[in-house]
Amino acid sequence: MKPAAFDYEAPETVEEAVALLGAHGDRAKVLAGGQSLVPLMNMRLARPEVVVDINRIRSLDYLTADAGVLAFGALCRQRAAERSAAVARLCPLLGDALALVGHAQIRNRGTVVGSLAHADPAAELCAVLAALGGTVTAVGPGGARSIPAEDLFVSYLTTSLDPRELVTEARFPALPRGAGWAWKEISRRHGDFALAGVGVVLAVRGGTVAHARIALIGVGPTAVRASRAERSLVGAAPSDGLWEDAADAVRSEVEPDADIHASAEYRRHVAGVLTRRALVEAATRARDAA
């Protein structure tokens, strides 16, 4: 379990890192926490010619909460985010999802941004970013740009990032005031990749649903928003029947694939069950702010 030979670079500024990525393009990979990249390299499934280790760029190690947005620098570890009081206060959905990312040892090294850039179809953080309408900031040879979640995730492990770009920050908007939330997932063993999972945000005003977000993992090539199910909720009065209908809408709009762990039918069914449970839980947490 040793990686194929590679050149190692350890830039100390974002500019140096971007220059290195600009020079090496898709022959290079960025190393942050290394919790996905290093196993792939050790098994020699990934053989980057150059590893650009960004761990010495101290300016990227931050977590800030400003104007209702949580910003995570590219070196902010998942464990730091999970234990942050600001995350618990502004975005408990993210905190709940983080607790299910791998195991504690993985989260001690793994970064919030790294998980998003890796874009695993079963990664919790991708769904949370999609559910909240968050963005990432990428810096490349042409400068910095902000990429919304819906434009970021393209397919299995594939994003719209250019290989010459470095993601420097992820931005997660806070939940709307008084909104309820829930994260539900099912996996074969604790810490495994989820067979299916769902994050829900629900706000109720004057007895009807004012805001609904549903995003799922494990049921397609990327994390997906269930927009039809979301639309079926907004404007309706909370009830068991409403949650059941939204769960049915989710089942009809996801297109899961089968693998050795679960059939497509099973994943579709479970996606609905988890959605209903998440909606019930989110509704009990939502404070009617009318």
Partner 1 sequence: MRLEGTNTLPAPVETVWRTINDPDALRGCTPGLTDLSPTGPGTYAAMLTIGIAAVKGTYKGTLTITDKREPTHYKIILEGSGGSGFMRGEGTIDLEADGDATRVKWTGDMQIGGLIAGVGQRMLGGVGKMLIGQFFKCLEQRLGPGA
CB of 261 to partner 1, least distance (A): 7
> Within positions 140 to 159, which residues make up the interface with partner 1, using CB under 8 A?
155-158
Sequence-distant (6+) residues with CB within 8 A of 44 are: 3, 4
Measure the CA–CA gap between 163 and 51, rounded to whole angstroms.
12
Q: Is 114 in the site for partner 1 (CB under 8 A)?
A: no
Binding partner 1 by CB under 8 A: which of 23, 88, 258, 289?
258
3-state DSSP call for residue 127?
A: helix
> In this structure, what is the dihedral angle of CA atoms 105, 55, 137, 128, given to the nearest 10 degrees?
0
Binding-residue pattern over the window 58 to 97 for partner 1, x denoting contact by CB under 8 A? ----------------------------------------
In DSSP terms, 204 is beta-bridged to 209
Q: Is 221 in the site for partner 1 (CB under 8 A)?
A: yes
- Cβ distance to partner 1 smaller for residue 5 or 45: 45
Binding partner 1 by CB under 8 A: which of 261, 265, 288, 290?
261
Total residues contacting partner 1 by CB under 8 A comes to: 24
For strands 153-155 and 143-148, give the pairing. unpaired
Q: Is 110 in the site for partner 1 (CB under 8 A)?
A: no
The sign of the CA dihedral 205, 208, 210, 216 is: positive
Backbone phi, psi, residue 17, to 5°: -65, -45
> Within positions 4 to 33, which residues make up the interface with partner 1, using CB under 8 A?
29
CB of 96 to partner 1, least distance (A): 23
CB of 267 to partner 1, least distance (A): 11
**Location of structure tokens 């959605």:** 275
Measure the CA–CA gap between 165 and 22, rounded to whole angstroms.
8
Q: Is 105 in the site for partner 1 (CB under 8 A)?
A: no
Measure the CA–CA gap between 37 and 54, rounded to whole angstroms.
13
CB of 188 to partner 1, least distance (A): 11
The 10 Å Cβ neighbour count of residue 158 is 12
Q: Is 48 in the site for partner 1 (CB under 8 A)?
A: yes
- Cβ distance to partner 1 smaller for residue 234 or 258: 258
Host H or E run for residue 229: helix 227-233
- Cβ distance to partner 1 smaller for residue 44 or 89: 44
Host H or E run for residue 247: helix 240-253
Q: Is 122 in the site for partner 1 (CB under 8 A)?
A: yes
**Location of structure tokens 């009065």:** 237
> Interface with partner 1 by CB under 8 A: which range of 11-19, 92-100, 119-127, 129-137?
119-127
Q: Is 268 in the site for partner 1 (CB under 8 A)?
A: no
Q: Is 38 in the site for partner 1 (CB under 8 A)?
A: no
CB of 215 to partner 1, least distance (A): 18
Identify the CA nearest to 171 among candidates 67, 34, 55: 67
Residues lying near partner 1 in the complex (CB under 8 A) are found at: 29, 37, 40, 43-46, 48, 118-119, 121-122, 155-158, 193, 220-221, 257-261
